[in-house]
Amino acid sequence: MKSDTRKTLYSFLGELVVYGLLVTAYFFLVLHFLGDWLAHLNKENVKLYSLACIGLIIGQAVVLEWVTTFIFRLLRGRSE
């Protein structure tokens, strides 16, 4: 295996480990608290729930993109 390929593979595995830890913490802390509130909102006010769906999925995507880009840069020591 070429040293460049090996380096890329190692940094990718490192990224996955760091990201996996962050995601696990996210599941247990955030989704645990959000779950009941969203289920309640879905029953009580479906229009607000629909808007919350769009806001949450876009908001999470933007934050995750920042996190993954940050991890990519941190572990590789250079910008993508």
Partner 1 sequence: MNFLAMHFPISGTDISPVYLVVIGFLIGILGGFFGVGGSFIAGPALRAIGMHWNFAVGTDLAHIVGKSVVAAKRHRALGNVDLKLGLIMALGTIGGAEVGAQLIQMLKRQGNVDFVVSIISIAVYFSISFFMVWESWRTVRLQRKKGGTTEKGRHAKDESSFAGLTRLVHRVPLWPMISLPTSGVKAVSLWVIVVVSFIGGLFSGFLGGGAGYIRMPMMVYILGIPTHLAVGTDLFEIIISASYGTFSHAIKGNVDILVALVMNTGAAVGAQIGAILTQYFAGPKIRLLFVPIPLIGVAIVLYTLFTGHKL
Nearer to partner 1, 6 or 20 (CB): 20
Q: How far is the CB of 3 from partner 1 (least distance, A)?
A: 19
Q: Which of residues 11-30 bind partner 1 (CB under 8 A)?
A: 15-16, 19, 23, 26-27
Among 1, 4, 36, 78, binds partner 1 (CB under 8 A): 36
Q: Where are the beta strands (DSSP E) in the chain?
A: none
How remote is the C-alpha of 60 from its chain's centroid?
7
60 is written with which tokens?
């999470």
| Cα 70 to Cα 16: distance, rounded to the nearest angstrom | 13
**What does the binding site for partner 1 look like in residue numbers (CB under 8 A)?**
15-16, 19, 23, 26-27, 31, 34-36, 38-39, 42, 46-47, 49-54, 56-58, 60-62, 64-65, 67-69, 72, 80
